[in-house]
Amino acid sequence: MNLKYNTDLGGMNTFRMKVKAACLLEYDSAEELSSLLSDTRFSSELPLPLFHIGGGSNLLFTGDFPGTILHSRIRFIEPVEDGDDVHVRIGSGVVWDDFCAWAARNGYWGAENLSLIPGEAGAAAVQNIGAYGKEAGDIIESVECLDIQDNRTVVLKGSECGYGYRESRFKNDLKGRYIVTAVNVRLTKKYSPDLDYGHVREALAERYGSAVIDERRLTPAQVREVIIDIRRNKLPAPEETGSAGSFFRNPFVLPEQYAKVAKVAEKENLGPVPHFPGDDGLIKIPAAWLIEKCGWKGYVEGNAGVYRNQPLVIINATGKATPDEILALESKIVSSVREKFGILLRPEVEHI
Ligand SMILES: Cc1cc2nc3c(=O)[nH]c(=O)nc-3n(C[C@H](O)[C@H](O)[C@H](O)COP(=O)(O)OP(=O)(O)OC[C@H]3O[C@@H](n4cnc5c(N)ncnc54)[C@H](O)[C@@H]3O)c2cc1C
């Protein structure tokens, strides 16, 4: 266990906000967490509220945190092979990409498209992370949790986690109550690349030749490498530039709102509006397009900015941005998109 008071969180969030937490409690096993929290003499001394973080890659700390930050150091990867299936139990504190690298190294399919997504395995199950046509929920069999309200262990099947697009019950009715301690996923040794999203197939053909694809000779490691290359070209590397990835959610709008956007685009010669069908007759418009057409791509103000290759990403441009600078830029982007297109953008990044 690691218990610290008045601790700097600058190295524990990828936005690199230099904020402090009144207390940080890192634990090494589910049993340790359970016994610490059930020891009333110990737990009643912890400043409140409690907030659990992983790698801090989907968070914006808006100031010093007055309570206790919990963090898992449960780190194991335990595979069990069963024919072609490989059931893997992953400790919640394992860096997600370390698991993806491990799977690719062993020739197991299922996690390669999710390579290089920052953060830890516990949060991957909370966030239902996704990329290149795959979501964590596609491979999650069950999630082991500690219910800190009743201090009991609970195992939720994947089908009970309420997975949807970047959604889960851990972000909704179970938030603040269930702490993920391990994630069970199913991988396979059977040849099963998933190449139908974006430019993955073309990039693989360019790198390894199309015969490798046609003759079904690809390996998970090759797909992983190409996914990593594509991601590095599009997104800022957390070790170089502070960010929390996509800052805003893609809006789903009514057909009449979409028509208004199309009218503005026509009047201002903005080109065709990219759009995709959503549920219930709604239409998805990429937030990145709306932000770019408001002129924010590559914009920098003070220490905060908008990433030059992906306008959905707000960055800590100099490494010295304060939460207020990020919040001010967020608010300006939201206002300008609302004024021009009549659409209210909502943040994807959780504000703490
Ligand atoms: C450059 C960049 C690229 C990104 N690309 C993608 C992408 O392609 N796809 C994608 O889906 N996301 C992406 N993200 C977002 C981010 O990586 C994911 O949301 C990731 O799952 C967050 O993991 P984390 O460990 O950093 O969690 P944190 O940001 O620390 O926490 C996220 C949430 O999970 C909760 N939480 C964390 N650990 C636990 C636990 N053990 N038990 C219960 N709750 C917990 C926290 O309370 C918080 O609500 C990107 C981020 C960055 C910076």
Ligand 1, residues 29, 32, 34, 57: which to mutate, most atoms within 8 A of Cβ? 57
Residue 183 β-bridge partners = 90, 143
Give pLDDT tens digits along the chain (352 positions): 999 999 999 999 999 999 999 999 999 999 999 999 999 999 999 999 999 999 999 999 999 999 999 999 999 999 999 999 999 999 999 999 999 999 999 999 999 999 999 999 999 999 999 999 999 999 999 999 999 999 999 999 999 999 998 999 999 999 999 999 999 999 999 999 999 988 899 999 999 999 999 999 999 999 999 999 999 999 999 999 999 999 999 999 999 999 999 999 999 999 999 999 988 999 999 999 999 999 999 999 999 999 999 999 999 999 999 999 999 999 999 999 999 999 999 999 999 9
Q: Is 123 in the pocket of ligand 1 (CB under 6 A)?
A: yes
The string over 116-130, giving b where at least 16 C-beta atoms fall within 10 Å of a residue's C-beta and e elsewhere, is bbbbbbbbbbbbbbb
Predicted confidence at residue 279, as pLDDT, reads 86
Cβ atoms of 147 and 173 closer than 8 Å: no
Predicted confidence at residue 1, as pLDDT, reads 94
Is the N-terminal amide bond of 49 cis, ω within 30° of 0? yes
Tell me, in angstroms, the distance from the centre of ligand 1 to residue 334's CA: 22
Backbone angles phi, psi at 202, to 5 degrees: -60, -45
Predicted confidence at residue 198, as pLDDT, reads 83
Residue by residue, what is the 3-state secondary structure of 316-352? ECCCCCCHHHHHHHHHHHHHHHHHHHCCCCCECCEEC
Q: Is 53 in the pocket of ligand 1 (CB under 6 A)?
A: yes
Of 135, 141, 182, 181, nearest to 161 by C-alpha is 141
What domains can you pick out in the chain, each with its CATH number? 2-72 (3.30.43.10), 77-234 (3.30.465.10), 242-351 (3.90.78.10)
Predicted confidence at residue 172, as pLDDT, reads 97
Distance (Å, whole) CA 128 – CA 183: 12
Atom of ligand 1 nearest to the CA of 122: 41
The counts of H helices and E strands in the chain are 11, 20
- Percent of the chain with pLDDT strictly greater than 70: 100
Predicted confidence at residue 310, as pLDDT, reads 95
Backbone angles phi, psi at 220, to 5 degrees: -55, -35
CB neighbours of residue 143 within 10 Å = 29
Cβ atoms of 61 and 15 closer than 8 Å: yes
Predicted confidence at residue 165, as pLDDT, reads 87
CB neighbours of residue 317 within 10 Å = 22
- Provide the annotated active-site residues: 166, 246, 348
pTM of the complete model: 0.95
Q: In what order do the strands lie in the sheet with 313-316?
A: 242-246, 313-316, 304-306, 300-301
